[in-house]
C-alpha cells in the first residue's frame, strides 16, 4: 500500500492512500448548475409551461417537452439519462420514490455547493459566491500532486468563479473558466476558433460563458490531450431560471443531456477510455417548488437543498433508479477518489464514499 503525504497551505495535510484498484482509470465529472431533481425525474412542469411569466410560447414548449406519462416526459427532456445511463448505471434523488439526495452546507447556493462537492466538507465559513480563493483542499488538487495524475486533470466551466473555488493558483490545476481562451493549443484550428467565438456571442449572463462553448472546448481537449480526469461545469440551467425563462431552462437541460451523450459515445469508441471510464453527473443545489420559488434558491427558499446525481462506469452495478436511502453531496469527493484507487482525507470531516456506486 502506497502512502503519499502532501503538505499544502499552512501545514494543512491531505493524504491519498493507495487502495485496491477499481477498473476505473479515468473520471469525467459534469455539473448542471441548479437543475432541479423534479425535472430530472418527472420532466417538464405543466404549471410552469402555462405560466405566461415563465414561458412565452406554451404551445411550442408543450410540443417539445410535454407528455402525460411521466416516464415518457422525462425521457423527452433528457433522453441520454433515461435511455442509456439509467439502464447501464445508477441515478439517485427521486424523492417521490424514497431516495433522498441533499447538500450538507447550510446556504444552498453555488460556491458553498461546489466547495462541498469537491472538498467533501460543507464549510460554514464559505458563505458567499464572491468568497475568493478557497482555503479548503479539493480532491482534484490532491490528485494533481501525485505522479499518476499530475498534469492530467482538466477543468472547463462556464462560470469564472472556479478559478477561486478550485484555488487554481495553489492547486496548480488547469482551470479554464468563464470567457477565457485556452492556451497551449495553438496548432488546433477548432480550439482556436472556439477561443475567438466565445467573444463574439451575446454576453447575456455578464461574463458567464455559454455552455455550448464550454462543452466544445472541453470535448476537444479530451480528444487531443487525453486527461485522466475532466470536469465540465455547465451554468445555463441556473442562469435561465434566475431570468424567469423556463423554456430556455428546459432547452439547456436537454442540450446538455445531448452533450453528455456525445461524450459517453466517444468514450466508448476510444481504447484509452472504453470500459475504463466513469461518468458522474450532478448539481450544486436545487430550487424552489412553486413558480416564484423556482426562480431562486438559498436557505430562505424551501426545498432548494435537494439535489440528485447519476453515474455510469465499469465499477458501478447497473441498478438503475435507486428507490431508497439518504445521500449527500459531501460524499462525492471520497467516492471519486475511491473509484480511482485512493482514499481522500483532509483535516476536515470528509463525507464517506458511496459504496453502492463502487460495487463494494
Distance between CA atoms of residues 218 and 159, nearest Å: 14
Query: What is the spatial distance between Cα 334 and Cα 65, in angstroms, rounded to a whole number?
Result: 36
SS (H, E, C) 270-331: CCCCCCCEEEEEECCCCCCCCHHHHCCCCCCCCCCCECCEEEECCCCCCCEECCCEEEEHHH
Let me know if residue 145 belongs to a domain. Answer: yes
Set of cell numbers at residue 74: 422525462
Residue-wise burial string across 202-214, b where 16 or more C-beta atoms lie within 10 A, e elsewhere:
eeebeebbbbbbb
Residue 208 belongs to domain with CATH number: 3.40.720.10
Query: 263 in a domain, yes or no?
Result: yes
Residue 209 lies in a domain: yes
Q: Which 3 state secondary structure label does DSSP give 187?
A: coil
The pLDDT value given to residue 21: 74
Q: What per-residue confidence (pLDDT) applies to 16?
A: 57
User: Can you give the pTM of this predicted structure?
Assistant: 0.96
- pLDDT attached to residue 128: 98
- The residue range of the domain holding 206 is 23-340+354-358
| Residue 105, domain member (yes or no) | yes
Per-position pLDDT tens, the chain of length 360? 233 334 344 334 455 555 557 999 999 999 999 999 999 999 999 999 999 999 999 999 999 999 999 999 999 999 999 999 999 999 999 999 999 999 999 999 999 999 999 999 999 999 999 999 999 999 999 999 999 999 999 999 999 999 999 999 999 999 999 999 999 998 999 999 999 999 999 989 988 999 999 999 999 999 999 999 999 999 999 999 999 999 999 999 999 999 999 999 999 999 999 999 999 999 999 999 999 999 999 999 999 999 999 999 999 999 999 999 999 999 999 999 999 999 999 999 999 999 999 986
Does a structural domain hold residue 2? Answer: no
Residue 251 has a pLDDT of 98
Note the pLDDT of residue 5. Answer: 34
**Predicted local confidence at residue 75, as pLDDT:** 98
pLDDT of residue 20: 58
For residue 248, give the H/E element and its range: helix 246-267
Residue 348 in domain: no
d(CA 225, CA 132): 29
Q: Hey, how many other C-beta atoms are within 10 angstroms of the C-beta on 296?
A: 17
Residue 106 in any domain: the answer is yes
Domains identified in the chain, total number: 1
Residue 16 in any domain: the answer is: no
* DSSP-assigned letter for residue 43: -
Amino acid at each position: 500500500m502506497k502512502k503519499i503525504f502532501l503538505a499544502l497551505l499552512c501545514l494543512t495535510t491531505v493524504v491519498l492512500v493507495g487502495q485496491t484498484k477499481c477498473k476505473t482509470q479515468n473520471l469525467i465529472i459534469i455539473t448542471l448548475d441548479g437543475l432541479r431533481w423534479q425535472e430530472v425525474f418527472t420532466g417538464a412542469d405543466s404549471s410552469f409551461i402555462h405560466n405566461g411569466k415563465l414561458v412565452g410560447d406554451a404551445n411550442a414548449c408543450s410540443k417539445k417537452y410535454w407528455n402525460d406519462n411521466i416516464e415518457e416526459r422525462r425521457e423527452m427532456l433528457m433522453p441520454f439519462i433515461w435511455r442509456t445511463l439509467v439502464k447501464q448505471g445508477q441515478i439517485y434523488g427521486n424523492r417521490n420514490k424514497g431516495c433522498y439526495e441533499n447538500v450538507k452546507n447550510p446556504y444552498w447556493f453555488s460556491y458553498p455547493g461546489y466547495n462541498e462537492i469537491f472538498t467533501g466538507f460543507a464549510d460554514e465559513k464559505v458563505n458567499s459566491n464572491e468568497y475568493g480563493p478557497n482555503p479548503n483542499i479539493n480532491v482534484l488538487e490532491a490528485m494533481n500532486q501525485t505522479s499518476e495524475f499530475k498534469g492530467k486533470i482538466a477543468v472547463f466551466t462556464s462560470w469564472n468563479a472556479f478559478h477561486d473555488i478550485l484555488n487554481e493558483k495553489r492547486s496548480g490545476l488547469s482551470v479554464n473558466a468563464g470567457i477565457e481562451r485556452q492556451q497551449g493549443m495553438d496548432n488546433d484550428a477548432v480550439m482556436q476558433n472556439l477561443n475567438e467565438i466565445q467573444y463574439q456571442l451575446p454576453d447575456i449572463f455578464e461574463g458567464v460563458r455559454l455552455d455550448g462553448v464550454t462543452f466544445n472546448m472541453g470535448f476537444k481537449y479530451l480528444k487531443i490531450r487525453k486527461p485522466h480526469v475532466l470536469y465540465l461545469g455547465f451554468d445555463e440551467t441556473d442562469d435561465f431560471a434566475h431570468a424567469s425563462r423556463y423554456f430556455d431552462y428546459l432547452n439547456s437541460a436537454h442540450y446538455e443531456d445531448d452533450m453528455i451523450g456525445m461524450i459517453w459515445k466517444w468514450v466508448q469508441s476510444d481504447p484509452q477510455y472504453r470500459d475504463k471510464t466513469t461518468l458522474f453527473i450532478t448539481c450544486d443545489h436545487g430550487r424552489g417548488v412553486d413558480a416564484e420559488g423556482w426562480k431562486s434558491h438559498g436557505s430562505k427558499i424551501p426545498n432548494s437543498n435537494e439535489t440528485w446525481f447519476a453515474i455510469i462506469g465499469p465499477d458501478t452495478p447497473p441498478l438503475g433508479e435507486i428507490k431508497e436511502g439518504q445521500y449527500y453531496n459531501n460524499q462525492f469527493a471520497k467516492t471519486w477518489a475511491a473509484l480511482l484507487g485512493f482514499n481522500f482525507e483532509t483535516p476536515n470531516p470528509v463525507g464517506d464514499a458511496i459504496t453502492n456506486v463502487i460495487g463494494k
